[in-house]
A and B are shown apart, each in its own frame.
Chain A
Amino acid sequence: MLTVLYGLFLVPALLDEAALLSRAESAFKKGVDLLDKPNEAKPHFRQAAADFEELQRRGFNGAELQLNLGNAHLLAGELPRAILAYRRGLLHSPSNSLLRANLAYARTCVNLPPTSDVGRASSDPWWMMAMHQAAPPCLVMTILAYGTGWLSLTRWAMTRQGFWLGLSGTGFLAAILTFSVAAVSWVAQKAEQRRNWEQPLVILSRDGIQLRKGNGPDYPPRLDTLLPAGVEARLLHDKGNWLQIELASGEVGWVSSADVLIDAP
């Protein structure tokens, strides 16, 4: 009975998502074939991005989906949405090299003045990236070392040879060390998730946005220059239709909620 119900209701829903994914990938590939004619390619990339977003809306997520979504947005000319997708993907997989590379490229497309660091986002420090990349293999090594410790201990109980006892001690020690690294990475990921929950990511969605000192257009500008689309910030506070944000470079000010994309959970 359950099998029949599964076949009647769940399988068709799965097929829809698969068909949606296939259509998105097909549209993306068509756009890539027409890259030399941007005006003809962009509609295909927009279609691909819309399909990827529909998959996300249906509850599917992951670093790969966000990467493809970001690529589609970027090639369609939607730089802020591309940066948002890449940042979301990195929440799932901080050590994903493709996401990092594409995010770095997208950041170069943000039209910031070359002589100023206002609004300029930077990548994570090297030690944090190393920690993220070390987490998965550390987990594997923990399991292997832990298992080796126990098996060596058993063999020592059988033979009473000092070698096995030494190997067992080494295995347990290695397991503790590698698990410590994995635990630190897990704690760091949780801390970043908490931060994203408390201070969601904000991306400026158009060029020429003025950062103001207060929550309204009558307040004086906070900066001398207008901010371009794609600048990354964190949401600190909201008041009506105005948001207090902190730029990646540290400046704090207010913008209209109509001018930003918010990474709402």
Chain B
Amino acid sequence: MAAFFSTAHLSLFHKWRLAILVVTPILACTMFSPETRHVLAAADETIQEAAALLPIENRPDNFNGAVGHFRAVTLSAQPRELEAEDPLKLSIRITASSPVVHPPARPNLRQLEEFKDLFYVEDLPDADQASANNTSWKFTYQLRPRNPSVKAIPSFAFCYFNPDFLKPTVPARSRGYQTIYSNEIPLVVRPRTPVQMSPTVAESLRPPETVRQLVPVRLGQIRRFPGPAWLILGLVAPPLVAALWYFCWSRMYPDMARLLRRRRNAAARQALAALTSPVLRQVHASPAAQADRIAEVIVTYLDQRFGLAIAELTPLEAAQQLREQVSPELAEQAAQLLRSIDAARFAPDHADSNSQLVSDAQRFVLAIETSKREKPLC
């Protein structure tokens, strides 16, 4: 055991180093201020307690939070020749000359403009490593260069606090913030090679035909709905055309129109006059003769009114012809009247009185004149 702790075989330099290692803690407890002793002795203390004791004055914005004697920060990357947006693995190794008070935090490259402007940054915390003796740390990232203009991975600035500046004999504690820079790694970034798609995939990704075609353009204002002028024209034109047509028709066929009106009225007047005339009873004294006269009046009336020659027709046949001109009820009324007239003519003993026949005939004529369904001569 004594041989193990013997220093005889050590050189002077190593003896001094050993002395420092042994004495420093003793000195820390005696020479430094209570605050410093707390910092140095609080190797297992939480991060917040240690950082809270560091000076705020002149604290750089990129201060990592590390406290200790750091020696170097180096970058390594693989591959160094790649296409734009292809991935590469970047490792940042931070080494210290002695066990540190507080280890470095993982650098956030996305907050560094020199990195975020050039690369898409992705953290790979699972690949981080730290040495057992608390003197070396490696942080790993995946970077993708944004474009072929990226020429290098820029130098990384690591800012830490040297705990020597916490000694009470050191007046300017803020000078304890120190920065070391890493190396820069040149890169060769090529433009991306265009992807060759299969024709089937390319065709499916092409815009549809309706997007790839042009339609004829009419240079002018297009109205979807017609304006007020067109609407008024559409409203007024048909009745004007109709009136014009009627006017032209009445001019082309004046007699037809007049005749239509006159003939209708003259036939009815003649028939009614004949039926109500006292001559009917005086000239034709016998019932049969009166019935003949009534039949003649009705036949003449229908001939003048509708152009029907029903003198030789049976009442049923006459009614069928008349049905084309007037309503079925009137046609049936005509058939009944004609049957009554035939009965009075050919079977006077069994017929109605002629006065009843006359009134029936008058009613029939008036019914015809007041009915709506009729076919004129023209």
Name A99-113 residues within 8 Å CB distance of B: 101-102, 105
Inter-chain contact B242/A154, CB cutoff 8 Å: yes
A65 within 8 A of B: yes
A53 within 8 A of B: no
B239 within 8 A of A: yes
Inter-chain contact B238/A74, CB cutoff 8 Å: no
Inter-chain contact B246/A150, CB cutoff 8 Å: no
Chain B 210-244 per-residue mask, 1 if CB under 8 angstroms from chain A, else 0: 11111111111110111000000011011101110
B350 within 8 A of A: no
**B214 is contacted by which of A18, A29, A36 (Cβ under 8 Å)?**
A29
- B-side interface residues, number (CB < 8 Å): 37
User: Which residues from chain B contact A64 at a C-beta distance below 8 Å?
Assistant: 215-218
Inter-chain contact B212/A18, CB cutoff 8 Å: no
**Chain B residue, CB-CB nearest to A63:** B222
Inter-chain contact B212/A32, CB cutoff 8 Å: yes
How far is the CB of A161 from the nearest CB of chain B, in Å? 7
A35 within 8 A of B: yes
User: Which residues from chain B contact A63 at a C-beta distance below 8 Å?
Assistant: 222
**B211 is contacted by which of A21, A55, A74 (Cβ under 8 Å)?**
A74
Stretch of B98-106, B201-209, B273-281, B329-337 that contacts chain A: B201-209
- Which of B213, B221, B234 has the most C-beta atoms of chain A within 10 angstroms of its own C-beta? B213
Inter-chain contact A71/B226, CB cutoff 8 Å: no
A123 CA to B220 CA, complexed, in Å:
28
A254 within 8 A of B: no
Stretch of A4-12, A141-149, A244-252 that contacts chain B: A141-149
User: Which residues from chain A contact B216 at a C-beta distance below 8 Å?
Assistant: 64
Chain A 133-171 per-residue mask, 1 if CB under 8 angstroms from chain B, else 0: 001100100110011011101100111111000000000
B375 within 8 A of A: yes
- A-side interface residues, number (CB < 8 Å): 49
**B242 is contacted by which of A18, A142, A150, A159 (Cβ under 8 Å)?**
A150
Inter-chain contact A71/B214, CB cutoff 8 Å: yes
A62 within 8 A of B: yes
Inter-chain contact A35/B206, CB cutoff 8 Å: yes
Known A-B contacts A17-B219, A21-B219, A60-B219; the reply to A35 vs B214 at CB < 8 A is no
User: Which residues from chain A contact B217 at a C-beta distance below 8 Å?
Assistant: 21, 55, 60, 62, 64-65, 68
Instruction: Enumerate chain B interface residues (CB-CB to A < 8 A).
Output: 202, 206-208, 210-222, 224-226, 234-235, 237-239, 241-243, 245-246, 249, 372-376, 378
Which 9 residue pairs of A and B lie closest in terms of their CB atoms, listed nearest first? A150-B238, A154-B242, A150-B242, A147-B238, A62-B222, A64-B217, A64-B215, A65-B217, A154-B246
Instruction: Enumerate chain A interface residues (CB-CB to B < 8 A).
Output: 14, 17-18, 21, 25, 28-29, 32, 35-36, 55, 60-65, 67-68, 71, 74-75, 92-93, 98, 101-102, 105, 135-136, 139, 142-143, 146-147, 149-151, 153-154, 157-162, 182, 186, 189
Additional A-B contacts beyond A64-B218, A67-B215, A68-B217 (12; CB < 8 A): A29-B214, A60-B220, A75-B211, A105-B207, A135-B225, A150-B241, A154-B243, A160-B374, A162-B373, A182-B225, A186-B225, A189-B225
